[in-house]
Structures are given as C-alpha cells and as structure tokens.
Structure 1
Amino acid sequence: MAKSLSMSFLTDEGKKASITVNNVKEDLTDAEVKAAMGVIIAKNIFFSSGGDLKAIDSAHIIDKNKTSLSVK
C-alpha cells in the first residue's frame, strides 16, 4: 500500500497551497510532519502563485490501495 503525505499551507495572500510527498514512511508522526512544515516555511524554498507560504493549515496521510483485475 503506497502512502502519500499532503501538506497544506496558507500563503501571505490568504490562499491555500499544497505539497504532496509520495512514499512516506509507515511510522510518520504528527510532530515530524509539523517540524518539516515549519522548516519548509522558514526556508521559503517553494514558489506559490498565491505568495510565500506563511502558516501551517493541515496535513493528511493518504493511503492508496491498488487491486489488480484479471481482464486478459
């Protein structure tokens, strides 16, 4: 099962911007994600059409299940 981390930020224009990271580790904690999001904001390394990332909005781990079907 593949897991992705979706992190949502508020920009200086009050808009939302999201960053998604694929294949995150199984035991990822809230504290680790919050710390990573803080570093992303502090380092200002991502461009957003809504302006600089200024605040943490939310974060979600997304589980993706894949089921193969026998159609041949």
Structure 2
Amino acid sequence: MAKTLKLKFSNEAGKNVSINIPNISDSVTSDQVKTLSSDIISKGIFTSTGGTLKKVVSANLLETSTTDLLQ
C-alpha cells in the first residue's frame, strides 16, 4: 500500500493549509515528522495565499490501496 504524509498548518491569515508528501517511508517516526514540520515553518520553505505558515495543526499518515476494476 502506498503511504502519504499529510501535514496541516495554519498560516498568517488563520487558514489551514495542507501539504501531502507521497511515497513516505514505512519507518517514518513522529520525531522525524516534528523536525520536518518545524523546519518547514522556521525556514519558510512553503508560503500560501494567506501568508507564511505559522503553526502545525496536524500530521497524518494515509494508506491507500488501488483495486483495478477494468484492464
């Protein structure tokens, strides 16, 4: 199953912004996610129409599976 890390931040305007990172490692840890999230905010790696990202709202690991119905 494919795994995606979904990070949700709030920006300067108070709106939520989501960033999806596909094909994340099975062995990713919460400490690694905390470090990544902090780096994204402190280094200003991403911005949004509502300004810079200010705070982590949530982080989720999503698993998806695909079933072919027609080939």
> Do both proteins adopt the same fold according to a TM-score greater than 0.5, normalized to the shorter chain?
yes
In the comparison of the two structures, how many residue pairs are matched? 71
The correspondence of residues 31-46 of structure 1 with structure 2, limited to 5 A, is 31-46=31-46
- TM superposition score normalised by structure 1: 0.91
In our comparison, the structure showing a higher alpha carbon Rg is 1
Cα displacement string for residues 17-47 of structure 1 (whole angstroms, at most 9, x for unaligned residues): 1110000000111111011000000000212
Structure ranking higher in strand proportion: 2
How is 1:1-72 mapped onto 2 (pairs within 5 angstroms)? 1-69=1-69, 71=70
Any unmatched runs of 5+ in structure 1? none
Identity of aligned residues (%): 38
Q: Give the TM-score, by structure 2 length.
A: 0.92
Q: Which runs of 5+ in 2 are unaligned?
A: none
Runs ≥4 residues deviating over 3 A: none
